[in-house]
Structure 1
């Protein structure tokens, strides 16, 4: 199953492009589902069909759905209270009723991730189009499964769960309460659910479609988003330049904005070809002079339903031991700026910060026996140099 995640700067027309992408694919005979976490029904407004917490047929072959964040949040809270009933009773805590619970910020995005996972597992569609939040929030959301799994492994390491049967004995010997069985079970269930979402995001058929208006602000945000996506190992399949003004216009007031857009469009076509990461094709979407509403307007935009997915981007390690005495780890970071890069080695992990995006990445096994000797940003990729540690490196290498 192919998944296209759509994001971009706020107000760039992401939801409209998501609707147009899904509609074009459905009209091409692809069974398509479009998801959105927008509380306001912007998706329904674009499609011309109201959408809500239950999937609806927006067009032949096209299903639209806005998952209900409140429902899932209430279910999770009630289930947690039931599992922690003994502890809550000991503390004299008063339990919350599901009807009085209001979803916390971020619950809508979590519901979207859960719906994405459930949709892929169900396998009823050929294409999933996801209308993500604006790019900075989308990057945080896409990082959530990996980061939460990391936290769970640190708080409740899997290897320690083997001692669950000895919990009462260990509690008496240590003189302190040991984690209850339900805690291990809950952690294992959360880890399994997060792993399923992470698997969808890391699937080779999953790509990201960036949407932005061609202008100075849009150019800066596209650069930052592309760098952040590359750091997370995600690949753009297209850059949609939205609301492009006609190049020839008799209106002299529009001459300035038109020239500005053409300049940015030329830069987009020229900039994203450096480094190992393949550049996404740039698709121009003309300004209709109004907000697109309904199938005819969406078709007039000419947004492609699905373009060929780019090849997975590798983070290779090259062997330069014979010539320079180092191994070099290549991390593609198109659009990265040297002044916004930070790198920290911590044990068997490397912490990379590029702009506003940060990721903790396990080192390849060969590099764990090395020390960092330097790093440089060259041609859209971060190159980290590692020298073998004589105390750990195999003799004769």
Structure 2
């Protein structure tokens, strides 16, 4: 659950977690009807504990009803606990030996200082959510992202952390040095484990079979202006958006105009647009229960860049022209930016930059241009002659896409 600040994300998440009377449709999740729902709040100052009538116990699930638990994740607590364990293992591994300058530097960083490193804090929070989701204790997890600033930056964090580790200690160098120096094997294995977690988290939160994203907007001019940017960024990041909840808020604003505009903008029948009527002052459990919130279930269909297509549009060998395309909103086409970093295409939409991992067949190509038409972004790429394999006689042959 995400949305602009003040849109009612926390209230909608809590109301949806408490709902028990959703219609019997396979496309709708009745959150809470199996008595196995965990509501996660990432805001250390969230008012959900007070509204739900439970004590604030950061880091530990608290029973709200027979079917719903609340877990308040304190960002600094998660960071300090996890990083303290990692640096303790790191210090034990190096044992005072001089291995690599960066190793000693990392081991000396105090847990309270780690929040300045790119992606660490967000990575550890996402890993805490994943661990709860895979624990087997709950079948459904409702995550309130209202307290994390930019929720899309949070979801991008594992990619940023993996890239930072690759720059500090490239994987090829890391594995080679670990093979030559047994003392580095434990450290290399720890870094490798974090990198695998980064990939696992990236895949998990873009998995349309397991995750359904829900955007909450208030029925105001601000909500109307925000929807285009949010939808465009969701498409860019492959975040599997399944519903837009237009909330009337505490004072019962009319939701029809904003909901109609959202429907016109989406052009996607897989994304449900719901209007949430006012529930008055939602300051207690009994009132939250009465808010009619329903969450669309994961559709299993990739969203945005997750559904990208690749095709050869002309030529052969080094004269080939490839097209990489996906459905992509552009609220401000003039602000579209494209770049390249290693195997990633860097795409900036609505002021948000996302690395898009290129399919293997395109990693030896250079970006040749881009077009946006009919709501789809198409990027043209041509083989780099210095990298493209050549047949005998000098004619380029397409590399394997595996």
The TM-score normalised by the length of structure 2 is 0.78
Aligned to 1:301: 291
Among residues 216, 220, 226, which one is paired with 2:221 in the alignment? 216
- The answer as to 2:226 corresponding to 1:232 is no
- In structure 2, the CA distance between the partners of 1:386 and 1:278, relative to structure 1 (3 Å rule), is farther
Between the two structures, name the one with larger relative contact order (CA 8 Å, sep ≥ 6).
1
Aligned to 1:55: 61
- The answer as to 2:354 corresponding to 1:359 is yes
Which structure: greater helix fraction? Answer: 1
Aligned-pair CA distance for 1:307 = 3.5
Written as runs of structure 1 = structure 2, the 5 A alignment for 1:196-215 is: 196-204=200-208, 205-215=210-220
The 8 Å contact of residues 344 and 358 in structure 2, kept in 1 or not, is answered as yes
- In structure 2, the CA distance between the partners of 1:21 and 1:359, relative to structure 1 (3 Å rule), is same
The 8 Å contact of residues 272 and 279 in structure 1, kept in 2 or not, is answered as no
- The answer as to 2:83 corresponding to 1:84 is no
Moved runs in structure 1, 4+ residues, more than 6 A? 85-91, 95-98, 105-108, 322-325
Aligned to 2:322: 327
Aligned-pair CA distance for 1:389 = 5.0
1:287 alignment partner, SS class: coil
Aligned-pair CA distance for 1:96 = 9.4
Range with bigger deviation, 204-213 or 336-345: 336-345
Aligned to 1:124: 137
Aligned-pair CA distance for 1:304 = 0.6
Among residues 260, 266, 273, which one is paired with 1:272 in the alignment? 266
Determine the C-alpha separation between the residues in 2 that align with 1:358 and 1:198. 16
Aligned to 2:194: 190
Aligned to 1:73: 79
Among residues 127, 135, 142, which one is paired with 1:114 in the alignment? 127
Larger Rg: 1
CA displacement 1:252-301 (0-9 Å, x = unmatched): xxxxx74xx5432221121110xxx65521111112332x1334322322
- In structure 2, the CA distance between the partners of 1:46 and 1:236, relative to structure 1 (3 Å rule), is farther
Aligned to 1:285: 276
The 8 Å contact of residues 8 and 249 in structure 2, kept in 1 or not, is answered as no
Aligned-pair CA distance for 1:32 = 1.0
The 8 Å contact of residues 325 and 378 in structure 2, kept in 1 or not, is answered as yes
The 8 Å contact of residues 7 and 132 in structure 1, kept in 2 or not, is answered as yes
Aligned to 1:172: none
Determine the C-alpha separation between the residues in 2 that align with 1:236 and 1:196. 19
- The answer as to 2:363 corresponding to 1:368 is yes
Range with bigger deviation, 7-16 or 322-331: 322-331
- In structure 2, the CA distance between the partners of 1:125 and 1:272, relative to structure 1 (3 Å rule), is same
The 8 Å contact of residues 40 and 70 in structure 2, kept in 1 or not, is answered as yes
**Unmatched 5+ stretches in structure 2:** 20-29, 99-103
Determine the C-alpha separation between the residues in 1 that align with 2:296 and 2:328. 25
Task: State the Cα RMSD in Å.
Answer: 3.5
Aligned-pair CA distance for 1:390 = 5.9
Range with bigger deviation, 360-369 or 103-112: 103-112
1:29 alignment partner, SS class: coil
Determine the C-alpha separation between the residues in 1 that align with 2:285 and 2:157. 34
Aligned-pair CA distance for 1:325 = 6.2
Aligned to 1:164: 178
Determine the C-alpha separation between the residues in 2 that align with 1:346 and 1:144. 17
The 8 Å contact of residues 319 and 327 in structure 1, kept in 2 or not, is answered as yes
Aligned residues between the structures: 363
- The answer as to 2:4 corresponding to 1:9 is yes
Written as runs of structure 1 = structure 2, the 5 A alignment for 1:314-353 is: 314-321=307-314, 326-353=321-348
Aligned to 2:24: none
